[in-house]
């Protein structure tokens, strides 16, 4: 990594914020740690390992240790990232003032969930009442005025996938406007956090000779919130889209629009706002065929070296060019060997020449793009684009079924062709006019895709169809008291199957005047009331609450209180159709082998309860599974009694087309979440 190279050449290195390079199954205390930040060249890491997290109650990791959810009620991630970065810079400069440093500052913003305090979002009240069509026109005019887009650029038309603002009912417009108010406040707060770090560097007298590369995003604005947006984005990633009416009902159930953007929702805005955010281009995230999905602003500052302040650069530049540019700026060669291992040559090229000459020729002359079958090939200002027939928020099984190997034929996808020197925004498709150029770029794409291991298109997801799973999966899991913040990707895979959770407890009996049972609190909990489960004791009775993605809570309660002394409690879910997507089933509670309660779950969560909240033994960190009642009002929420052992026992899953669709969806959801 670039951090390892700089570290080996005397730099202090730190990564603060989003990491997203450690597989889900490797994010626990047992590692392996070779894909954690410390192993990849960073002396210090503070942040989160996954692709997204809550701004209010993230599971924090420091170096190789999971710290957990912050206890400070005033915690906000962007603020904390800035503070940790400032402290790190000051500390390392105090101890080694002549030693250079490298800071990788990667926010969770403005990735979903869109969460920010009201003092930021309320600044934008009424600013988006004009809707996405008008906002796009206004943005385009400002871009032209500022000169940040070509003078001859055209504003591309709205795709039919996005509704015209004038066609939206008034009550829905209020929801949509609030979505964008929150996003705008979230975005401004993020800039503020970055600004705090840069201000510290200036105040320390380091600004003149510090190279700052500020890249706003790693893809286009995200359209995965669907046409309606969502109060809880994991609903969408489970392939369960909500109608506008269902969305309004859920918003009201969770406190109304004023709660949008706060800690009690995991919201994402409507796809049309993303389209407006990608002005003047077409489409957005996932759609790597078009500039709306791949083009991002970048600002570079280095006062000691760059003399043309506030100047614009139009050279084609790719993210693979960042590392070579840093090395050239630092006067360091690209290593041929690291720790005795021969290195693959870097794929990018330095753009340092543009620092001195705004008109320097582009050095990065060709580049492939591909995400989930959406693909493009750029060469010398020409770009060929292929977009499969799927809009980014369509995750339902019938839609995805069209992309099975025997169904989807990439060569049948329509090719569009644009000359970006003449057509900044991909407004005029000239594929019919230049068939030879289409053939040239088509052949080049497949050659580059093979060279850089892009194939098969759709990646691992494409191979699922028609193939059974590989090695037998683990079906028994044992946990002990005190274990907390187990990564959501590492919890037992209880989805779409029968399973049981058994806990061996020691109940000390009644306390005080004997008016309350001695055993009380959370035995085990995963997720939150926006998706998850909790097995707990309240008023001496065993309870189980299951949240179907915040849309429905199902709770069952034992008839009898737990007896004093050693006691075994068990929760069982019997799936009606194991392997079926979101299967219904029956819940049961047992105390010392005797059934105490039974209930029906009409829909189970098919893929994942949450993108980031962890599983806890003896507590429920962060947003609780049971809101506004029960143990959520107890402080602390720790279990009163003794948990000796908890065991999960997973039943088999029928392997058929439904199961293959489930696996495909799971991997697809994992990919688009990133």
- pLDDT tens digits, one per residue of 12-67: 999 999 999 998 888 888 889 999 999 999 999 999 999 999 999 999 999 999 99
CATH number, residue 575: 2.60.120.200
**Contact between 429 and 416 (Cβ < 8 Å):** yes
Tell me the residue range of the domain where 515 lies: 476-654
Q: Closest Cα partner for 80 from 298, 621, 88, 259? A: 88
- Within-domain flag for 549: yes
Averaged pLDDT in 10-residue chunks for the chain of 674 residues = 96 98 88 95 97 95 94 95 98 95 97 97 98 98 96 96 97 97 98 98 97 93 93 89 87 92 95 98 96 96 90 95 98 92 94 95 97 95 95 78 80 97 98 98 97 79 42 83 89 94 89 56 94 93 96 96 95 94 95 98 93 92 80 64 95 60 49 43
- Within-domain flag for 20: no
As for how many domains the chain has, the answer is 1
Whole-number Å distance between alpha carbons of 471 and 465: 17
- Within-domain flag for 354: no
Q: Closest Cα partner for 231 from 205, 251, 210, 206? A: 251
User: DSSP state, 199?
Assistant: H
pLDDT, position 238: 86
Helix, strand, coil share (%) of the chain residues, nearest 5: 30, 20, 50
Whole-number Å distance between alpha carbons of 425 and 281: 5
**Contact between 106 and 15 (Cβ < 8 Å):** yes
pLDDT, position 426: 98
- Within-domain flag for 643: yes
Give residues with Cβ within 8 angstroms of 125, minimum separation 6.
181
Q: Is 546 helix (H, G, I), strand (E, B) or coil?
A: strand
- Within-domain flag for 637: yes
pLDDT, position 467: 36
- pLDDT tens digits, one per residue of 468-524: 344 457 899 999 998 999 988 889 999 999 999 999 999 987 654 444 556 788 999
Per-residue tokens: 419: 């000359």
The structure tokens 């915690």 sit at 75
381: left (phi over 0), alpha (psi -120 to 50) or beta: left
- Within-domain flag for 173: no
Q: Which helix (H) or strand (E) holds 560?
A: strand 553-561
pLDDT, position 629: 56
- Within-domain flag for 34: no
- Within-domain flag for 526: yes
């Amino acid at each position: 990594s670039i951090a390892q190279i700089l570290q080996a050449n005397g730099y202090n290195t730190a990564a603060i914020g989003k990491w997203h390079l450690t597989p889900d199954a490797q994010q626990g205390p047992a590692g392996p740690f070779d894909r954690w930040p410390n192993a990849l060249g960073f002396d210090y890491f503070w942040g989160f390992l996954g692709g997204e997290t809550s701004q209010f109650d993230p599971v924090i990791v420091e170096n190789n240790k999971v710290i957990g959810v912050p206890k400070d009620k005033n915690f906000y991630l962007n603020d904390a990232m800035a503070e940790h970065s400032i402290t790190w810079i000051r500390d390392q400069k105090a101890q080694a003032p002549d030693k250079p440093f490298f800071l990788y500052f990667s926010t969770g913003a403005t990735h979903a969930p869109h969460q920010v305090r009201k003092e930021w979002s309320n600044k934008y009240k009424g600013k988006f009442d004009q809707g996405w069509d008008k906002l796009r026109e206004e943005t385009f005019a400002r871009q032209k005025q500022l000169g940040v887009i070509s003078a001859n650029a055209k504003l591309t038309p709205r795709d039919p996938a996005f509704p015209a603002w004038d066609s939206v009912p008034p009550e829905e417009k209020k929801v949509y406007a609030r979505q964008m108010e929150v996003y705008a406040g979230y975005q401004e707060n993020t800039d503020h956090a970055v600004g705090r770090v840069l201000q510290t560097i200036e105040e320390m007298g380091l600004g003149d000779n510090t190279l700052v590369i500020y890249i706003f995003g790693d893809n286009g604005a995200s359209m995965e919130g669907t046409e309606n947006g969502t109060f809880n984005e994991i609903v969408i990633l489970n392939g369960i889209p909500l109608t506008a009416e269902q969305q309004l009902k859920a918003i009201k159930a969770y406190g109304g629009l004023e709660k949008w953007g706060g800690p009690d929702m995991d919201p994402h805005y409507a796809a049309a706002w993303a389209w407006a955010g990608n002005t003047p281009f077409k489409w957005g995230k996932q759609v790597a065929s078009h500039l709306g999905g791949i083009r991002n602003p970048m600002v570079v500052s280095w006062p000691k070296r760059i003399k043309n302040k506030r100047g614009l650069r139009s050279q084609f530049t790719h993210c693979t060019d960042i590392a070579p540019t840093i090395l050239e700026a630092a006067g360091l060669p690209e290593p041929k060997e690291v720790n005795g291992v021969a290195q693959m040559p870097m794929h990018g090229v330095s753009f340092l020449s543009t620092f001195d000459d705004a008109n320097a020729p582009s050095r990065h002359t060709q580049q492939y793009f591909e995400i989930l079958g959406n693909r493009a090939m750029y060469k010398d200002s020409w770009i060929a684009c292929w977009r499969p027939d799927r809009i980014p928020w369509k995750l339902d099984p019938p839609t995805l079924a069209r992309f099975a190997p025997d169904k989807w034929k990439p060569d049948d996808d329509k090719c569009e062709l644009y000359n970006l020197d003449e057509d900044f925004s991909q407004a005029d498709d000239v594929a019919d006019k230049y068939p030879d150029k289409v053939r040239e770029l088509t052949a080049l794409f497949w050659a580059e895709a093979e060279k850089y291991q892009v194939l098969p298109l759709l990646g691992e997801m494409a191979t699922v169809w028609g193939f059974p799973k590989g090695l037998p999966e683990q079906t028994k899991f044992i946990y002990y008291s005190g274990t907390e913040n187990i990564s959501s990707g590492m919890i037992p895979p209880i989805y779409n199957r029968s399973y049981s959770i058994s806990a061996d407890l020691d109940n000390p009996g009644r306390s005080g005047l004997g008016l309350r049972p001695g055993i009380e609190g959370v035995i085990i909990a995963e997720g939150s009331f926006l998706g998850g489960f909790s097995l707990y004791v309240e008023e001496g009775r065993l309870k189980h609450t299951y949240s179907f993605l915040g849309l429905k809570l199902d709770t069952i309660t034992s008839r009898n209180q737990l007896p004093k002394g050693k006691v075994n409690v068990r929760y069982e879910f019997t799936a009606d159709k194991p392997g079926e997507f979101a299967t219904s089933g029956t819940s049961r509670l047992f105390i010392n082998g005797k059934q105490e309660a039974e209930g029906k779950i009409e829909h189970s969560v098919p893929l994942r309860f949450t993108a980031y909240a962890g599983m806890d033994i003896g507590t429920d960190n962060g947003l609780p599974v049971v809101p506004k009642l029960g143990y959520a009002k107890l402080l602390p929420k720790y279990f009163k009694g003794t948990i000796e052992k908890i065991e999960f026992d997973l039943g088999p899953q029928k392997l058929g087309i439904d199961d293959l669709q489930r696996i495909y969806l799971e991997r697809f959801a994992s990919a688009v979440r990133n």
